[in-house]
Structure 1
Amino acid sequence: MFNLPQALKRLVIGRAMRSEELGETLLPKRLALPIFASDPLSSVAYATQEILLVLTVGGTAFLYLTPWVAAAVVALMVVVVASYRQVVHAYPSGGGSYEVVSRNLGPSSGLVVAASLLVDYVMTVAVSVASGVDNIISALPSLADYRVLLAVGFVALLMAMNLRGVRESGNAFAAPTYLFIGAMLLMIATGLVRVLFGDAPVAESAAFGVEPEHGKDALAGLGLLLLGLRAFASGCTALTGVEAISNGVPAFRAPKSRNAATTMAVMGITAVVMFVGVTALALIAKVHYVDSACQLTGLPTDCTGYTQQTVIAQLAASVFGGSDSILFYVIQAATALVLILAANTAFNGFPLLASILAEHRYLPRQMHTRGDRLAFSNGIIALAVVAGGLLWLYKADVTSLIHLYILGVFTSFTLSQIGMVRHWNRVLASEGDGAVRAAAHRSRVINGLGAVTTALVLVIVLLTKFTQGAWLAVVAAVLLWLMMRGIRRHYDAVADELAVQDPREESVRPSKVHGIVLVSKLHKATLRALGYAEAFSPDTLEAVTVSVEQDDTRELAARWQEFDVQVPLKVLDSPYREITKPVVQYVREYRRSSPRDAVAVFIPEYVVGHWWEHLLHNQSALWLKSRLLFTPGVMVISVPWQLSSAPRADHPARRAPGAVRRGEPTPARGAREPERL
């Protein structure tokens, strides 16, 4: 029988893979780079833009701070990459910051990191996709009205690709990432060569003035310092996703730690070169980028109808000649693609971290389950749903979303570096080998410097972004932390309750088993339920019906005698026409009168083949089961009756032993009977 949902599922995610094929999904470095590093590499496309956006609140007067802010971002990136290379070598089992902090600072601190990272992964998807859509609109302004639809559609596409498995998504995403790197380096090199030959590129926005915000054009002292710090905090978006490699070490081919550390070094060098090049070109081309187009002066049209091009689009136009050049569209296409695919870093980091948390009983167990393609499918779907909701809520606006960003990642940066310092302290306390101690001292210095710098950035981000929306990220992380603690308490309580203390006492058999078959009418489903109940051989057995309509009850009793059913029929009165309450009350009264007995309730149920048929059958049965399951000492057994619309197991091997299809000869006497249940 053709199964449309299964066919669609196979079309989207491909054939199911056996568990033994997990080794085939491990990644070489050339695929690991675009999978785990696409986020920090792609952030080059908007990190410089965010710095300029902050500094232009005072007009063009403060753009001279741009090189200093960019230099501070580069220095921080070097420190963070070097620090996480230490994490990769010290904790190669994955988990990254979460594992480092949990082992060295305790489970509660580890959960702080986990909650921060989970929030940040969601924001990575939202910001990356929104920024990618911005670049598409810069090349094709007519798509501006479809911003949210495009963003949500791209999230769905990323989800589908990642459900196909890590390696397959890596093969699909590798080419756009390397195309972006090549295109950016070509643009930077071309622009700098033009500068050397005296033909410096000039951005379109260089001809426009910038109207400073009220009172912001004469900042000095503390105000100027705060402006610089805010620009630095915005530029630190270039560091998002750096920790993803440390979380994904198990996905690398052996030697895992060395390959992961090498990939991280390549990522750091490439990101620094591109960030410095883009920032330098933006200053040379005199790019002006503001929060609102109405802040620009000298526009050729009304500001309400003017759409700003992104910094990358302005640079590509100034270097290659705008819409007349094919390279302009190559840059825009590559940038849009890599920004959208940058979300893939989160689609790999979030499910891996969620699976580790589920293994440690901080998230539902389903997060630890691999899907058909050996990916953590539930984590991938959860990330897509939440990120898609954010994009819809914030209308896929990068400026609105960016304020919720990077807070979580610097929380994890800071705590993980503190944890690594404690790790090296323990190594030094127990290690006597001189070479090992020297390496530990060197690593402790690197991680100590990383802890200080990232803690400083965390404070800056909190001060400059908290009132602009970062408080929402803090609230989300706190709620997630509380939720994970609650989930762990629940799992621990269940484990304690199910723990066996005295096997003999807890495996005592009931004095007897009383069987109850629930009956509404005397038909084939009822007779099957009676037969199954007798096959279980309970000590006592009765049929129970609820009298809602007197005529129906009398007809049932008459047919019961007519068919000479040997099981006694008990009728429960229901003056208020309820079905569930009389049955539950009757079962509970029996349990109270015979607390050492067990009660087995057999419920006939129809099996239907169409979704709409579920609305027409089994509602009373479902409600009865849900109520009876909360009664101690009561077992609820469903006895299915397959209606003609239900899919049938036609193959003889799939039928119950001894079952006979209509039209087949019955077994001869003396043939082997099916075993009793």
Structure 2
Amino acid sequence: MFNVTGILKRLVIGRAMRSEELHETLLPKRLALPIFASDPLSSVAYATQEILLVLTVGGLAYLHFTPWIAAAVVVLLAVVVLSYRQVVQAYPSGGGSYEVVSTNLGPSSGLVVAASLLVDYVMTVAVSVASGVDNIISAVPELADYRVPMALGFVALLTAMNLRGVRESGRAFATPTYLFIGGVLIMIATGLFRYLVGDAPVAESAKYGIAAEPHEAHLTGLALVMLTLRAFSQGCTALTGVEAISNGVPAFRKPKPKNAATTMAVMGAISITMFAGVTTLAIVSKVHIAEDACRLTGLDGSCDTYTQRTVIAQIAAAVFGGEHSIGFYYIQAATALILILAANTAFNGFPLLGSILARDRYLPRQLHNRGDRLAFSNGILALAIVAGLLLWGYQANVTNLIHLYILGVFTSFTLSQLGMVRHWNRELRTETDPQTRRHHKLTRIINGTGAVVTGLVLLIVLATKFTQGAWLAVLAALVLWLMMRGIRRHYDATAAELAVTDPRSELALSSRVFAIVLVSTIHKPTLRALSYARAFRPTHLEALTVSVDREEAAALRERWEDYGIEVPLKIVDSPYREVTRPVVEYVRSIRRESPRDIVAVFIPEYVVGHWWENLLHNQSALWLKSRLLFTPGVMVTSVPWQLTSSARADHPAARAPGSVRRGEPPTVAKQPGRG
């Protein structure tokens, strides 16, 4: 069983890597781009669609706002990219927004950013995978009934790839990312060329009208402003994942800050070009899309059986000559791949941020441990589990999931830019070189502008999305913030309690050592435990058994005396057939009588070699130890006895620390011969 498990692990993850090989996992810019920027690059596949879905609640009347909203998103994206280039260069250690805010605005504000980003990373996986599945269904509608299993399967695949290490996942995901970028740029160039020569592409939905939702047909004043702001907030999904590069600076090759800043600039330029191009083609080809297909007018058949294609699918079909063209299938395949792989941004950002928080004692320390392939495996698995549960709970529905999205990332954007403004103010107070001061003042203006703009967007997102489900994201971030503060308090209290103030008093010998060996019958494990206990030369040594049957206890005492064992045997009656409680109470009674004494409890245990053998033995030793560990001044020692099967078991689990299979502890008096 363990051999099979080990083989499967090596097949999925690969060979274990030595700590000294960490430098081999560092990324060149060509691999870092698809790893850390696949999320913002892929968002062009659905950001335009989200704008149109909001505007069409009033029918076709408000679609003329599309170019202005898209232009606002482009400006915002440019500002955020420029701002984060300053973050990368000023804080290259990899903490990103969390480090910037913690350093300049305080630990509590830093935790707000960390909690928001962790929630947003989970949402990135859920939304990206669900959107990728949507595009697969657009090409093959028959797969609609398998939406959730497909989504969960892709999460499992991404998890396996990331467990193999950052560099391995980068190699696997680089080609699909560049294929998507190339395909979309070719589609944009082809569509715009056709438009300029008078042969504009026409979307399949251009012939359909859209009926307005009740009370949305003739909006004016504040209602119209709220509609456009809501569309803008939906379009801001194009900015998700921009901060991931700032968190991943340590993964770049040297010079790390320069390479990360260059990658950030390239990502921004490509994202802006593709988003602007896709939005322009959506307007030119007259794409009409609604959340409910039954609001489309002019359908040939029933709306219940009509499946709307995604915006990018309709554009590809219009540009390349129909839904059966090679170009259409290429774009659909590349889009589905990049959307699913966009979750890889979160699979890199979440574990890195989790490891930093664990280092700072805000999350369990296990998240700071590297796995066999030098990746933060525990963080990867935690992200996969939570995202999988979210996909299952929301049935992998993009429309429902998108409302929980982008709130956290704009919280991070706003606070990090405020932190950078304070950073530059502090630098300017000590800097005297005129040229350096001019540079600092310019970057302060960039970060200040970013703080104002992203702060306004955060307010818009809160106002337009809160009642539609974003409150769940706020609640999750709040719970996570409280949990991290609680974890930090626990670690601080533990460190304070364990701190050594007087080494001499701590090293002072105890008055006496009272040793107890737990016994059920006289066999080799019992005798080994007795010999081991005697080797410690305790002040007092005795054997202890719990009697659930008077005749069995009497038989055990008789054999004990016949063998001439010099260690006294103590029998504790248990009329209610309990084992753990009598032992614990007896040990505690010794502690009450002599509080300065140390009580050492030795427990003989079987070690089995196969998992199924463990089912044949009870686990009362584990329960006994867990109870005794809560008793001050009590030391618990396991004395293993390896059965023949454990000696024959040739597998890593049999040799690895912590993987020993323990069987029945001899703690209950039984008839001679029973095992």
TM-score (norm 2): 0.95
Question: Equivalent residue of 1:545, what SS?
Answer: strand
Q: Which moved more, 1:161-170 or 1:520-529?
A: 520-529
1:343 aligns with 2:343: yes
Does the 8 Å contact 1:124/1:343 carry over to 2?
yes
Measure the CA separation in 2 of the matches of 1:385 and 1:620: 31
Measure the CA separation in 1 of the matches of 2:227 and 2:120: 24
Equivalence for 1:644: 644
User: Counterparts in 2 of 1:58-207, with a 5 A limit?
Assistant: 58-207=58-207
Question: Equivalent residue of 1:645, what SS?
Answer: helix
Amino acid at match of 2:86: Q
User: Counterparts in 2 of 1:192-341, with a 5 A limit?
Assistant: 192-341=192-341
Shift, 1:323, TM fit: 2.7
Shift, 1:646, TM fit: 2.2
Does the 8 Å contact 1:606/1:618 carry over to 2?
no
* 1:421-450 residue CA offsets vs partner (Å, 9 max, x unmatched): 000000111111101110000000000000
Equivalence for 1:450: 450
Measure the CA separation in 1 of the matches of 2:278 and 2:2: 54
Shift, 1:616, TM fit: 3.3
* 1:219-269 residue CA offsets vs partner (Å, 9 max, x unmatched): 011111110000000000000000000000000000100100000000000
Does the 8 Å contact 2:546/2:571 carry over to 1?
yes
Amino acid at match of 1:605: E
Amino acid at match of 1:581: R
Question: Equivalent residue of 1:604, what SS?
Answer: strand
Question: Equivalent residue of 2:606, what SS?
Answer: strand
* 1:569-595 residue CA offsets vs partner (Å, 9 max, x unmatched): 111111222111111111111111111
Does the 8 Å contact 2:240/2:406 carry over to 1?
yes
Q: Which moved more, 1:11-20 or 1:601-610?
A: 601-610
* 1:40-76 residue CA offsets vs partner (Å, 9 max, x unmatched): 0000000000000000000000000000000000000
Measure the CA separation in 1 of the matches of 2:205 and 2:142: 20
Amino acid at match of 1:511: S
Measure the CA separation in 1 of the matches of 2:465 and 2:371: 39
Amino acid at match of 2:12: V
Cα 1:649–1:619 shift into 2, 3 Å: closer
Equivalence for 1:46: 46
Shift, 1:618, TM fit: 4.2
1:533 aligns with 2:538: no
Does the 8 Å contact 2:609/2:648 carry over to 1?
no
Amino acid at match of 1:395: Q
Question: Equivalent residue of 2:214, what SS?
Answer: coil
Shift, 1:606, TM fit: 1.2
Equivalence for 2:506: 506
Does the 8 Å contact 2:610/2:649 carry over to 1?
no
Question: Equivalent residue of 1:201, what SS?
Answer: coil
Shift, 1:310, TM fit: 0.2
Equivalence for 2:621: 621
Measure the CA separation in 1 of the matches of 2:271 and 2:603: 64
Shift, 1:609, TM fit: 2.4
Shift, 1:650, TM fit: 8.3
1:437 aligns with 2:437: yes
Question: Equivalent residue of 2:602, what SS?
Answer: strand
Question: Equivalent residue of 2:644, what SS?
Answer: coil
Does the 8 Å contact 2:15/2:372 carry over to 1?
yes
Amino acid at match of 1:593: E
Q: Which runs of 5+ in 2 are unaligned?
A: 656-675
Amino acid at match of 1:406: I
Q: Which runs of 5+ in 1 are unaligned?
A: 656-677
> Could you tell me the percent identity over the aligned residues?
75
Question: Equivalent residue of 1:646, what SS?
Answer: helix
Amino acid at match of 2:166: V
Shift, 1:649, TM fit: 7.8
Measure the CA separation in 1 of the matches of 2:423 and 2:5: 50
Shift, 1:467, TM fit: 0.3
Measure the CA separation in 2 of the matches of 1:190 and 1:216: 36
* 1:149-204 residue CA offsets vs partner (Å, 9 max, x unmatched): 00000000000000000001000000000000000001000101111111100000
Equivalence for 1:358: 358
Shift, 1:644, TM fit: 2.7
Measure the CA separation in 1 of the matches of 2:349 and 2:19: 21
* 1:202-224 residue CA offsets vs partner (Å, 9 max, x unmatched): 00000111010011110011111
Shift, 1:2, TM fit: 6.9
Measure the CA separation in 1 of the matches of 2:303 and 2:267: 39
Shift, 1:604, TM fit: 0.9
Please identify runs of 4+ aligned residues in structure 1 that moved more than 6 A: none
Does the 8 Å contact 1:605/1:618 carry over to 2?
no
Q: Which moved more, 1:446-455 or 1:568-577?
A: 568-577
Equivalence for 2:467: 467
Equivalence for 1:658: none
Question: Equivalent residue of 2:217, what SS?
Answer: coil
* 1:309-365 residue CA offsets vs partner (Å, 9 max, x unmatched): 000100010011223211111000000000000000000000000000000000000
Measure the CA separation in 1 of the matches of 2:53 and 2:63: 10
Amino acid at match of 1:111: L
Amino acid at match of 2:24: E
Measure the CA separation in 2 of the matches of 1:225 and 1:576: 74
Equivalence for 1:562: 562
Question: Equivalent residue of 1:527, what SS?
Answer: helix
Question: Equivalent residue of 1:515, what SS?
Answer: strand
Does the 8 Å contact 2:47/2:237 carry over to 1?
yes
Does the 8 Å contact 2:414/2:455 carry over to 1?
yes
Question: Equivalent residue of 1:462, what SS?
Answer: helix
Shift, 1:617, TM fit: 2.1
Question: Equivalent residue of 2:517, what SS?
Answer: strand
Does the 8 Å contact 1:208/1:299 carry over to 2?
yes
Measure the CA separation in 2 of the matches of 1:524 and 1:635: 23
* 1:358-407 residue CA offsets vs partner (Å, 9 max, x unmatched): 00000000000000000000000000000010000000000000000000
1:20 aligns with 2:20: yes
Measure the CA separation in 2 of the matches of 1:79 and 1:253: 26
Equivalence for 2:476: 476
Measure the CA separation in 1 of the matches of 2:368 and 2:427: 32
Measure the CA separation in 2 of the matches of 1:252 and 1:238: 24
Amino acid at match of 2:502: D
Equivalence for 1:542: 542
Question: Equivalent residue of 1:323, what SS?
Answer: coil
